[in-house]
C-alpha cells in the first residue's frame, strides 16, 4: 500500500514539473525577464530548502554524509544564484549593462555544482565532515565574490560578441567534471542506494545538458539560454526529489512500516493474550473444581484416618493392658517362654501405638487441627516417662539405652509432644542400630536454648540422604526399606512438632559411626506462666494452637 502511494506521488510530482517547464517555456516567449526570475527563484527556493533539510537533519542521520555535503553546497549555490538573479540584465538593481556580472555570478555556482557532484562520487564528504565542508565552501565563496567585486574575475560575456572563451571553456570543464561523476556513479552502482543512484544520475545528466546550452547562446534572452535554464530547473528538481526522499519520505516510511509492524505484533500478541486468558480462566475453573474435590478428599481422608486410628487404638490399648497384667503375674505365675512371648506382644503393640499416634498427629497437622499445650517442663520428668516406654523395646533389640540426668532450666513446650519427639528419635535409632549398640539421650543448653540429644552407634546416614530425611515418607535406599519397618513419618513429625514450638531439629551423621539428632526448644523465662487453652483460647498465641 505504501509503495503504491509513493509511486503515485512521485509520478504526480514529475508530471507537475513537466507541466511547469512547459508553462515556463511559454512565458519566456512573452516576457523573458519574468521567465528568468521564476526559473531562478524556483532553483533558489529549492536550493535553500535542500540546505535547510540537510543541515537540520544531519545530527539524526550522520551516516548520510553525501546528502549533508550536498545540502551545505546548495546553500552557497543558492546565495550566488540569488545575486545572479538580481544582477541579470534588465532587473535594474545594478547600474548599466550587467550581462557580464550576471554571467560571472552564474558561473561560480555552476563550478560549485560540478565540484560537489565530483567530490561526492569520490567519497570526499566522508573524510571532511560538516564543519570542514562548510568552512571550505565559505572560504571559496568569499574569495570568488571578492574577485568579482574587485574586477579580478575573468570576463564571461561581452556585449556585441557574446560569451568569452573563458566562459565557454568553463562550461565544458564543468560538464566534464559532471561526466566523470556520472562514470563514477555507474561504477559504484552496486553499492549505492537505488534512489541515490537514480536521482544523482538524473541531476548530473540534466546539469550537463544545461551547461552545453550555456556554451552556445549569444544573447542573454536567446533560446539556448532559455533551454539551459529549463534544464537547470529540472536538475534542481531531481536534487529536491533526492533530498525529500532520503531525508523526509524514507525516514517517515520506515517509521510507518515500523508502526504497522508493531500494530500487527500488538494485535497478534493481544489475540494470543486473550486466548491465553481464556485458557487461564478455564484452567482456574478446573483448578477450583479439583481443589474442591481435593478438599473433600482430604476431609474424607482425615475422617477415615481418625476412624481407623481410633478403631486400631482401642483394641491395642486393651492388648497392652492385658499384657502388662499378665507380665505382672496378676493372674498367675509365668514361665520364661511365656514371659518372652508376652514381652514381644507388648513391645509390638506399643510400637504400633506409636505409629498410629504419628499418623493421627500428622493427619491433624495437615488438617490444621493439631493442638499443643505448652507449659514449663522439667525435662527429667519427660526422660522418666521415655525410659519407662522405651527400655523394654531397646532391651528386646539388645541395645544399651542411656538416658542421662539433665541439669538445665525449665523448657517451655508441650511435655507430651516433647516426649513424642524423643520416643520417635529413639525408635528410629533402634531400627538402624545393630545388636550391642548404644543409644544415648541427654539435654544441655546451647545458645540460650535447650538442646535435647538422641545419639546412636548405628549405621549412619549417607551424605546424599541427609537433606531429605525430614521429608514425609522419606526413608533410606530400597535395601533399607526391605530390611527396616516404618512409614517415614517419624522424622517429619519430629521436625513439625519442633517448629510448632518455636524450635528446630539438627542432625549429625557419619556412615559406620552413628547419628545424632538434636532438638532445640526455647527455655522458659522466670515470669512466664502456663497457657490455659481450655479456659481462654482467644488469648493463646496462634502458633501454639494450630497450623496457620
Cα 95 to Cα 103: distance, rounded to the nearest angstrom? 15
Which pLDDT belongs to residue 468? 83
Span of 108-117, 195-204, 352-361 with lowest mean pLDDT = 352-361
Extract long-range pairs of 264-268: CB within 8 Å, 24+ residues apart. none
Does domain 289-370 match CATH 3.40.50? no
Q: Under CATH, what is the fold of the domain 372-545?
A: Heat Shock Protein 90 (3.30.565)
- d(CA 347, CA 288) in angstroms, rounded, equals 46
Residue 511: is its pLDDT beyond 60? yes
Lowest mean pLDDT among 33-37, 95-99, 146-150, 157-161: 95-99
Going by DSSP bridges, is the β-strand pair 400-403/375-377 parallel, antiparallel, or unpaired?
unpaired
Output b/e per residue, 502-531; b: 16+ Cβ within 10 A.
bbebeeebeeeebbbbbbbbbbbeeeeeeb
Yes or no: say if 449 and 409 are a contact pair by the CB < 8 Å rule. no
3-state DSSP helix/strand/coil % of the chain, to nearest 5: 70, 10, 25
First to last CA, the chain: 64
Name residue 376's beta-bridge partners. 412
Q: For residue 167, give the 3-state DSSP assignment.
A: helix
* Per-residue pLDDT reduced to its tens digit, 450-493: 999 999 998 888 888 888 888 776 655 444 443 455 556 778 88
Compute the radius of gyration of the chain from its Cα atoms.
Answer: 53
Q: Note the pLDDT tens digit of each residue in 297-324.
A: 777 776 776 676 666 667 777 776 767 7
* Cα–Cα distance for residue pair 517/471, rounded to 1 Å: 15
User: Which of the listed ranges 260-269, 468-477, 528-537 does the model predict with the highest average pLDDT?
Assistant: 260-269
Lowest mean pLDDT among 106-115, 220-229, 459-468: 220-229
At 548, is the pLDDT very low, low, confident or very high (cuts 50, 70, 90)? Answer: very low
Predicted pLDDT of residue 387: 92
289-370 and 2-252 share a CATH fold:
no
Q: How far is CA 209 from CA 113, 196, 227, 443, in A?
A: 13, 20, 9, 111
- State the angle between helix axes of 194-213 and 223-243 in degrees (0 to 180), rounded to the nearest 10: 170
At 201 the three-state DSSP class reads helix
Q: What is the rounded average pLDDT for all residues in the chain?
A: 79
Q: Is 495 left (phi over 0), alpha (psi -120 to 50) or beta?
A: alpha
Which has the closest alpha carbon to 365: 518, 502, 210, 494?
494
Question: What Cα–Cα distance (Å) separates residue 219 from each residue in 32, 36, 99, 223?
Answer: 11, 13, 9, 9
Please, which residues have CB within 8 angstroms of residue 49's CB and are 6 or more apart in sequence?
Answer: 240, 243
CATH architecture of 2-252: Up-down Bundle (1.20)
Q: Which residues are paired to 377 by β-bridges?
A: 411
Q: CB 344: neighbour CB atoms within 10 A?
A: 12
- Return the DSSP state at 523: B
**Domain-by-domain residue ranges, the chain?**
2-252, 289-370, 372-545
Q: Are strands 400-403 and 438-446 parallel, antiparallel or unpaired?
A: parallel
Lowest mean pLDDT segment, chosen from 152-161, 167-176, 299-308: 299-308
What is the band of 21 on the pLDDT scale with cuts at 50, 70, 90?
confident
- pTM of the entire structure? 0.49
* 439: pLDDT strictly greater than 90: yes
The rounded distance, in Å, linking the Cα atoms of 50 and 76 is 11
Which pLDDT score, from 0 to 100, does residue 382 have?
Answer: 92
Q: Are strands 375-377 and 411-413 parallel, antiparallel or unpaired?
A: antiparallel
How many CB atoms sit inside 10 A of residue 58's CB?
19
Amino acid at each position: 500500500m505504501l509503495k503504491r502511494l509513493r509511486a503515485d506521488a512521485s509520478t504526480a510530482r514529475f508530471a507537475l514539473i513537466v507541466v511547469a517547464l512547459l508553462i515556463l517555456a511559454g512565458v519566456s516567449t512573452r516576457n523573458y525577464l519574468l521567465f528568468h526570475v521564476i526559473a531562478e527563484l524556483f532553483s533558489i527556493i529549492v536550493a535553500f530548502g535542500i540546505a535547510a533539510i540537510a543541515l537540520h537533519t544531519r545530527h539524526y542521520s550522520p551516516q548520510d554524509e553525501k546528502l549533508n555535503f550536498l545540502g551545505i553546497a546548495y546553500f552557497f549555490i543558492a546565495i550566488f544564484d540569488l545575486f545572479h538573479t538580481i544582477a541579470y540584465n534588465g532587473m535594474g538593481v545594478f547600474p548599466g549593462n550587467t550581462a557580464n556580472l550576471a554571467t560571472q555570478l552564474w558561473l561560480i555556482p555552476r563550478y560549485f555544482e560540478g565540484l560537489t557532484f565530483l567530490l561526492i562520487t569520490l567519497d570526499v564528504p566522508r573524510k571532511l565532515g560538516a564543519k570542514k565542508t562548510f568552512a571550505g565552501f565559505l572560504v571559496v565563496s568569499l574569495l570568488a565574490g571578492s574577485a568579482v567585486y574587485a574586477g579580478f574575475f575573468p570576463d564571461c560575456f561581452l556585449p556585441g560578441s557574446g560569451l568569452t572563451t573563458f566562459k565557454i571553456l568553463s562550461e565544458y570543464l564543468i560538464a566534464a567534471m559532471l561526466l566523470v561523476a556520472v562514470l563514477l556513479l555507474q561504477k559504484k552502482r552496486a553499492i549505492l542506494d537505488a534512489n541515490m543512484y537514480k536521482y544523482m544520475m538524473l541531476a548530473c545528466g540534466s546539469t550537463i545538458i544545461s551547461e552545453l546550452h550555456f556554451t552556445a547562446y549569444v544573447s542573454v534572452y536567446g533560446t539556448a539560454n532559455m533551454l539551459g535554464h529549463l534544464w537547470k530547473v529540472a536538475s534542481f528538481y531531481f536534487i529536491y526529489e533526492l533530498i525529500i526522499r532520503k531525508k523526509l519520505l524514507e525516514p517517515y516510511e520506515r517509521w510507518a512500516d515500523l508502526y504497522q509492524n508493531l500494530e500487527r505484533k500488538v494485535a497478534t500478541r493481544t489475540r494470543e493474550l486473550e486466548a491465553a486468558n481464556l485458557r487461564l480462566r478455564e484452567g482456574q475453573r478446573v483448578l477450583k473444581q479439583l481443589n474442591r474435590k481435593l478438599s473433600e478428599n482430604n476431609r474424607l481422608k482425615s475422617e477415615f484416618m481418625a476412624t481407623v486410628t481410633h478403631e486400631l487404638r482401642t483394641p491395642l490399648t486393651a492388648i497392652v493392658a492385658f499384657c502388662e497384667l499378665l507380665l505382672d503375674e496378676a493372674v498367675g505365675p509365668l514361665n520364661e517362654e511365656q514371659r518372652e512371648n508376652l514381652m514381644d506382644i507388648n513391645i509390638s503393640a506399643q510400637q504400633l501405638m506409636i505409629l498410629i499416634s504419628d499418623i493421627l498427629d500428622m493427619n491433624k497437622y495437615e488438617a490444621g487441627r493439631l493442638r499443643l499445650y505448652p507449659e514449663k517442663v522439667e525435662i527429667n520428668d519427660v526422660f522418666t516417662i521415655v525410659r519407662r516406654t522405651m527400655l523394654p523395646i531397646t532391651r528386646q533389640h539388645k541395645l544399651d539405652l542411656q538416658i542421662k540426668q539433665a541439669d538445665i532450666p525449665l523448657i517451655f513446650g508441650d511435655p507430651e509432644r516433647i516426649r513424642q519427639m524423643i520416643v520417635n528419635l529413639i525408635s528410629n535409632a533402634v531400627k538402624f542400630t545393630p545388636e550391642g549398640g548404644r543409644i544415648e539421650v541427654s539435654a544441655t543448653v546451647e545458645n540460650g536454648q535447650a538442646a535435647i540429644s538422641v545419639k546412636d552407634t548405628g549405621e549412619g546416614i549417607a551424605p546424599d540422604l541427609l537433606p531429605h530425611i525430614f521429608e514425609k515418607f522419606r526413608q533410606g535406599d530400597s535395601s533399607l526399606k526391605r530390611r527396616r519397618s516404618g512409614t517415614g513419618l517419624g522424622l517429619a513429625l519430629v521436625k513439625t512438632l519442633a517448629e510448632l514450638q518455636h524450635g528446630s531439629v539438627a542432625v549429625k551423621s557419619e556412615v559406620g559411626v552413628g547419628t545424632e539428632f538434636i532438638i532445640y526448644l526455647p527455655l522458659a523465662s522466670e515470669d512466664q506462666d502456663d497457657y490455659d487453652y481450655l479456659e481462654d483460647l482467644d488469648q493463646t498465641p496462634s502458633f501454639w494452637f494450630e497450623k496457620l
